[in-house]
Structure 1
Amino acid sequence: AQGKERLARLTWTRSHTNEQQHAAEFGPHSGWRRAINEAADTACGEAVKEALSALPPWDPGEADDLTREVSQHLQRKAEVLLTSSERPPWEEGEE
Protein backbone atom coordinates (compact mmCIF):
# COMPACT_ATOMS: atom_id res chain seq x y z
CA ALA A 1 0.00 0.00 0.00
CA GLN A 2 1.18 3.47 -0.82
CA GLY A 3 1.14 6.36 1.61
CA LYS A 4 -1.23 9.27 1.24
CA GLU A 5 1.46 11.25 -0.57
CA ARG A 6 0.88 8.96 -3.59
CA LEU A 7 -2.87 9.54 -3.81
CA ALA A 8 -4.27 11.70 -6.55
CA ARG A 9 -5.75 14.98 -5.42
CA LEU A 10 -9.03 15.69 -7.18
CA THR A 11 -9.61 19.25 -8.26
CA TRP A 12 -12.27 21.15 -10.15
CA THR A 13 -11.60 23.23 -13.24
CA ARG A 14 -13.84 25.47 -15.29
CA SER A 15 -14.81 24.24 -18.76
CA HIS A 16 -15.00 26.23 -21.96
CA THR A 17 -12.31 28.80 -21.17
CA ASN A 18 -9.37 29.88 -23.25
CA GLU A 19 -5.82 29.50 -21.94
CA GLN A 20 -5.61 33.08 -20.65
CA GLN A 21 -8.94 32.89 -18.78
CA HIS A 22 -7.99 29.56 -17.22
CA ALA A 23 -4.56 30.79 -16.14
CA ALA A 24 -6.08 33.93 -14.62
CA GLU A 25 -8.47 31.88 -12.49
CA PHE A 26 -6.40 28.79 -11.64
CA GLY A 27 -2.80 29.95 -12.01
CA PRO A 28 -0.17 29.88 -14.75
CA HIS A 29 0.81 26.24 -14.16
CA SER A 30 -2.72 24.79 -14.44
CA GLY A 31 -2.88 24.49 -18.22
CA TRP A 32 -2.60 20.71 -17.99
CA ARG A 33 -5.91 20.60 -16.10
CA ARG A 34 -7.60 22.61 -18.85
CA ALA A 35 -6.11 20.30 -21.51
CA ILE A 36 -7.29 17.15 -19.73
CA ASN A 37 -10.76 18.62 -19.21
CA GLU A 38 -10.97 19.58 -22.88
CA ALA A 39 -9.89 16.06 -23.93
CA ALA A 40 -12.52 14.52 -21.63
CA ASP A 41 -15.22 16.85 -23.00
CA THR A 42 -14.28 15.87 -26.56
CA ALA A 43 -14.28 12.14 -25.74
CA CYS A 44 -17.68 12.40 -24.04
CA GLY A 45 -19.09 14.35 -26.96
CA GLU A 46 -17.91 11.70 -29.41
CA ALA A 47 -19.35 8.91 -27.25
CA VAL A 48 -22.72 10.68 -27.10
CA LYS A 49 -22.79 11.14 -30.88
CA GLU A 50 -22.00 7.45 -31.37
CA ALA A 51 -24.65 6.34 -28.87
CA LEU A 52 -27.30 8.63 -30.37
CA SER A 53 -26.53 7.49 -33.91
CA ALA A 54 -27.38 3.92 -32.87
CA LEU A 55 -30.88 4.92 -31.76
CA PRO A 56 -33.89 4.79 -34.05
CA PRO A 57 -35.25 8.14 -35.25
CA TRP A 58 -37.12 10.13 -32.60
CA ASP A 59 -40.88 9.67 -32.78
CA PRO A 60 -42.81 12.51 -31.10
CA GLY A 61 -45.97 10.37 -30.92
CA GLU A 62 -44.11 7.61 -29.10
CA ALA A 63 -42.62 10.16 -26.69
CA ASP A 64 -46.11 11.56 -26.03
CA ASP A 65 -47.48 8.07 -25.39
CA LEU A 66 -44.67 7.26 -22.97
CA THR A 67 -45.10 10.57 -21.16
CA ARG A 68 -48.84 9.97 -20.85
CA GLU A 69 -48.26 6.42 -19.55
CA VAL A 70 -45.77 7.56 -16.91
CA SER A 71 -48.03 10.45 -15.87
CA GLN A 72 -51.05 8.16 -15.48
CA HIS A 73 -49.00 5.67 -13.47
CA LEU A 74 -47.89 8.44 -11.11
CA GLN A 75 -51.46 9.75 -10.87
CA ARG A 76 -52.67 6.31 -9.78
CA LYS A 77 -49.91 6.09 -7.18
CA ALA A 78 -50.76 9.56 -5.85
CA GLU A 79 -54.46 8.70 -5.74
CA VAL A 80 -53.77 5.64 -3.59
CA LEU A 81 -51.57 7.67 -1.25
CA LEU A 82 -54.10 10.49 -0.94
CA THR A 83 -57.23 8.37 -0.52
CA SER A 84 -55.96 5.44 1.51
CA SER A 85 -57.14 5.12 5.09
CA GLU A 86 -53.88 3.36 5.96
CA ARG A 87 -51.13 5.49 7.38
CA PRO A 88 -47.63 5.20 5.98
CA PRO A 89 -45.16 3.30 8.17
CA TRP A 90 -43.21 6.46 9.01
CA GLU A 91 -46.35 7.99 10.57
CA GLU A 92 -47.29 5.00 12.72
CA GLY A 93 -47.34 5.83 16.39
CA GLU A 94 -47.68 9.59 15.82
CA GLU A 95 -50.76 11.19 17.32
Structure 2
Amino acid sequence: MANTPQSKKRARQNEKRFEVNKARRSRIRTYLRKVEEAIASGDKDAAVAALRAAQPELMRGVTKGVFHKNTASRKVSRLASRVKTLG
Protein backbone atom coordinates (compact mmCIF):
# COMPACT_ATOMS: atom_id res chain seq x y z
CA MET A 1 0.00 0.00 0.00
CA ALA A 2 1.09 3.58 -0.63
CA ASN A 3 2.96 5.14 2.28
CA THR A 4 4.17 8.60 1.31
CA PRO A 5 1.73 11.47 0.70
CA GLN A 6 2.85 11.63 -2.92
CA SER A 7 2.27 7.92 -3.52
CA LYS A 8 -1.15 8.17 -1.84
CA LYS A 9 -2.09 11.04 -4.13
CA ARG A 10 -0.85 9.15 -7.19
CA ALA A 11 -2.96 6.16 -6.15
CA ARG A 12 -6.05 8.41 -5.93
CA GLN A 13 -5.27 9.95 -9.32
CA ASN A 14 -4.78 6.52 -10.86
CA GLU A 15 -8.19 5.38 -9.61
CA LYS A 16 -9.91 8.43 -11.12
CA ARG A 17 -8.03 8.07 -14.40
CA PHE A 18 -8.87 4.35 -14.55
CA GLU A 19 -12.59 5.11 -14.22
CA VAL A 20 -12.48 7.81 -16.91
CA ASN A 21 -10.53 5.60 -19.32
CA LYS A 22 -12.85 2.68 -18.61
CA ALA A 23 -15.86 4.82 -19.57
CA ARG A 24 -14.10 5.99 -22.74
CA ARG A 25 -13.17 2.43 -23.74
CA SER A 26 -16.73 1.28 -23.14
CA ARG A 27 -18.14 4.14 -25.23
CA ILE A 28 -15.78 3.35 -28.11
CA ARG A 29 -16.61 -0.35 -27.97
CA THR A 30 -20.31 0.52 -28.19
CA TYR A 31 -19.68 2.47 -31.40
CA LEU A 32 -17.64 -0.42 -32.80
CA ARG A 33 -20.37 -2.89 -31.89
CA LYS A 34 -22.92 -0.79 -33.79
CA VAL A 35 -20.74 -1.01 -36.89
CA GLU A 36 -20.36 -4.77 -36.43
CA GLU A 37 -24.11 -5.23 -36.06
CA ALA A 38 -24.80 -3.17 -39.18
CA ILE A 39 -22.28 -5.27 -41.14
CA ALA A 40 -23.82 -8.48 -39.83
CA SER A 41 -27.31 -7.35 -40.87
CA GLY A 42 -26.00 -6.53 -44.36
CA ASP A 43 -27.31 -2.95 -44.30
CA LYS A 44 -24.63 -0.95 -46.10
CA ASP A 45 -26.17 2.48 -45.42
CA ALA A 46 -26.40 1.80 -41.70
CA ALA A 47 -22.88 0.37 -41.67
CA VAL A 48 -21.46 3.45 -43.42
CA ALA A 49 -23.27 5.77 -41.01
CA ALA A 50 -22.11 3.76 -38.00
CA LEU A 51 -18.52 3.76 -39.27
CA ARG A 52 -18.61 7.53 -39.79
CA ALA A 53 -19.78 7.93 -36.20
CA ALA A 54 -17.20 5.46 -34.85
CA GLN A 55 -14.11 6.93 -36.54
CA PRO A 56 -13.94 10.21 -34.59
CA GLU A 57 -14.66 8.37 -31.34
CA LEU A 58 -11.77 6.00 -31.95
CA MET A 59 -9.42 8.84 -32.81
CA ARG A 60 -10.56 10.78 -29.75
CA GLY A 61 -9.56 7.71 -27.74
CA VAL A 62 -6.09 8.02 -29.27
CA THR A 63 -5.73 11.67 -28.30
CA LYS A 64 -6.92 10.88 -24.77
CA GLY A 65 -4.38 8.06 -24.46
CA VAL A 66 -6.83 5.16 -24.27
CA PHE A 67 -5.67 3.50 -27.51
CA HIS A 68 -2.47 3.55 -29.50
CA LYS A 69 -2.67 5.40 -32.81
CA ASN A 70 -1.86 2.31 -34.87
CA THR A 71 -4.46 0.23 -33.05
CA ALA A 72 -7.20 2.72 -33.86
CA SER A 73 -6.04 3.06 -37.46
CA ARG A 74 -6.00 -0.72 -37.86
CA LYS A 75 -9.53 -1.05 -36.47
CA VAL A 76 -10.86 1.72 -38.74
CA SER A 77 -9.11 0.24 -41.77
CA ARG A 78 -10.45 -3.27 -41.20
CA LEU A 79 -13.98 -2.05 -40.54
CA ALA A 80 -13.87 0.19 -43.62
CA SER A 81 -12.78 -2.68 -45.84
CA ARG A 82 -15.56 -4.89 -44.46
CA VAL A 83 -18.15 -2.15 -45.02
CA LYS A 84 -16.84 -1.66 -48.55
CA THR A 85 -17.44 -5.31 -49.44
CA LEU A 86 -21.13 -5.09 -48.48
CA GLY A 87 -23.46 -5.25 -51.47
| TM-score exceeds 0.5 | no
Structure with higher helix content: 2
Give the number of the structure whose alpha-carbon radius of gyration is greater.
Answer: 1
Query: Normalising by structure 1, what TM-score?
Result: 0.29
Where relative contact order (Cα < 8 A, 6+ residues apart) is larger, the structure is 2
> TM-score, normalised to structure 2's length?
0.31
